[in-house]
Amino acid sequence: MRSMTSLQGCVPAVLSALLSRQPHSPAKVLFAWRAAVGDAISSATTVNLTSGGTLEVRTTTQHWRKELQRSKPVILGRLQTMLGKGRVSRLAVSAPGEGRTRRRPSATPKPSSEM
């Protein structure tokens, strides 16, 4: 009797084999991203692969940024399996509002009680 391989175990290998035959393109990266993270995260992000191998990920909210930060090692491993270890070397995740300095509300001067 032959042992069965789970679908979850063979999908990354099959995708890797299929993607390796395709030319590199933004569509290929987007397909691999969607396969690596799923529809919910994919629809809340935009991605851009730099020539240096950094996948720049822009999320719609800080919540998604935190989720991706926690999952970076797993996601990076999946992308490297599908696109090749040399293609994606790092994930850089950002969200709206980053890089801005928070403004503190200015203190309103209290009226003086002296007359």
Q: Is the pLDDT of residue 108 over 80?
A: no
Instruction: State the average pLDDT for the chain.
Output: 82
Report the b/e string of 7-39 with b at 16+ CB within 10 A: eeeeeeeebbeebeeeeeeeebbebbbebbbee
Q: Residue 76 corresponds to which tokens in the numbers above?
A: 């990076």
Report helix, strand or coil for 114.
coil
- Sequence-distant (6+) residues with CB within 8 A of 6 are none
Q: Residue 7 corresponds to which tokens in the numbers above?
A: 């679908």
Q: Residue 75 class from Cβ within 10 Å (0-12 exposed, 13-18 middle, 19+ buried)?
A: buried
Q: Binning pLDDT at 50, 70 and 90, where does residue 12 land?
A: low
Q: Residue 30 corresponds to which tokens in the numbers above?
A: 């987007």
Q: pLDDT tens-digit profile of 49-104?
A: 999 999 999 999 999 999 999 999 999 999 998 888 888 999 999 999 865 555 55
Q: Is the pLDDT of residue 17 over 80?
A: no
Q: Which domains does the chain have, with CATH numbers?
A: 29-94 (3.30.300.180)
